[in-house]
């Protein structure tokens, strides 16, 4: 018997030519959170953010839901963790909302790489991936 479980699901789609939409769901033994973010591909900035805390262990947790809109304007090119923590985390926010948002941003990055298939040759993609992912894991050391 498990004492605790957690699942995070992230789905990303392209809307139009320049907008990525990501839907994230975080469910564990005590929480259920969902967010939807839109990001502009050119500026790589969050342009809309919505979501809800459907289930939380404490009554005051639901107050952090209003912070989701603070994600609008977050620039995904640099200091992403710091910007997200300032918007929805730390002592005024929710660590789980921070975690879900960071997973959604990782999904956006992966989707951005998938879009390269539409405009680049395999050789160009390899070069771009190696440059952007250098130092991120064993393969790209």
Q: Measured between alpha carbons, how far is 83 from 73 in angstroms, rounded to an integer?
A: 10
Residue 126 has pLDDT above 90, yes or no: no
Q: What is the DSSP string of 16-82?
A: TTTEEEEEEEEEESS-EEEEEEEEETTTTEEEEEEEEEEE-SSGGGGGGGGGGGGGTT-BTTS-HHH
- The pTM (predicted TM-score) of the whole model is 0.91
Q: Measured between alpha carbons, how far is 82 from 9 in angstroms, rounded to an integer?
A: 22
Q: Measured between alpha carbons, how far is 119 from 101 in angstroms, rounded to an integer?
A: 28
* Local confidence band at 62 (pLDDT 50, 70, 90 cut-offs): very high
DSSP 141: -
Kindly report, residue by residue over 32-50, the tens digit of the pLDDT: 999 999 999 999 999 999 9
Please give the mean pLDDT across all residues of the chain: 94
Give the closest residue to 88 by CA, choosing from 73, 108, 78.
73
């Amino acid at each position: 018997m498990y004492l605790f479980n957690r699942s995070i699901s992230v789905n990303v789609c392209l809307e139009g030519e320049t907008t990525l939409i990501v839907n994230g769901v975080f469910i564990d033994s005590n929480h259920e959170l969902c967010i939807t973010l839109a990001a502009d591909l050119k500026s790589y900035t969050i342009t809309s953010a919505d979501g809800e805390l459907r289930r939380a262990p404490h009554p005051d947790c639901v107050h952090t839901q209003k912070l989701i809109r603070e994600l609008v304007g977050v620039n995904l090119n640099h200091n992403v963790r710091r910007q997200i923590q300032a918007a929805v985390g730390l002592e005024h926010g929710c660590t789980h909302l921070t975690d879900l948002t960071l997973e959604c941003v990782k999904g956006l990055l992966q989707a951005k790489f998938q879009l390269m298939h539409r405009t680049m040759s395999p050789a160009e993609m390899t070069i771009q991936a190696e440059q952007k992912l250098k130092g991120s894991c064993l393969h790209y050391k």
